[in-house]
Amino acid sequence: MAVQSAEIKIKKDEADRDMEAAAPALAAAKEALKQVSAAAITEIKALPQPPDAIKLVCTVAFHFYKNNKQDDWGSVKQIMLGDMKLLDGLKNYDIT
C-alpha cells in the first residue's frame, strides 16, 4: 500500500506541475473568449471554406462547448455558430 501511495503522490505532483505550467495559457484563453464578437462569428459563418486554422479552432471549441463528436464543418457551422446564444455561452463558459 505504501508503494501505491508513493506512486499516486508522484503522479499528483506531476499533474499539479502540468496544471501550473498551463495556467497562463488557460487565463489567456478565458480572456480571448471575452473578445469574441458577433461580427466575427457572422464573418466566420459566411466563409464557405474557411482557412484550416479557423476550422481547427472552431472544431475544438465545438467539441468542448457543445460536447459533440461531429466535426465536419457543416455541423460546426450549423450547431455551434448557428446558436443565437453562442456569445453569452462562450463568455460564461468555464474552461477550467
Residues spanned by the domain of 11 = 1-35
pTM for the complete prediction? 0.62
Residues 3 and 26 in one domain: yes
Residues 43 and 14 in one domain: no
Which is it for the CA torsion 19, 20, 25, 28, positive or negative? positive
**Alpha carbon of residue 14 to chain centroid:** 23
24/53 same-domain check? no
CA distances from 29 to 2, 4, 10, 95 (A): 39, 36, 28, 8
48 and 20 within one domain? no
Q: Which three cell numbers stand for residue 84?
A: 443565437
Same domain, 40 and 28: no
Please state the domain count of the chain. Answer: 2
62 and 24: one domain? Answer: no
Do both 47 and 18 map to the same domain?
no
How does pLDDT run across 12-59, given as a tens digit for each residue? 999 999 999 999 988 888 788 778 888 988 899 888 889 999 999 888
Instruction: Check whether 88 has a pLDDT greater than 90.
Output: no
Based on the fold, state whether residues 96 and 68 are members of the same structural domain: yes
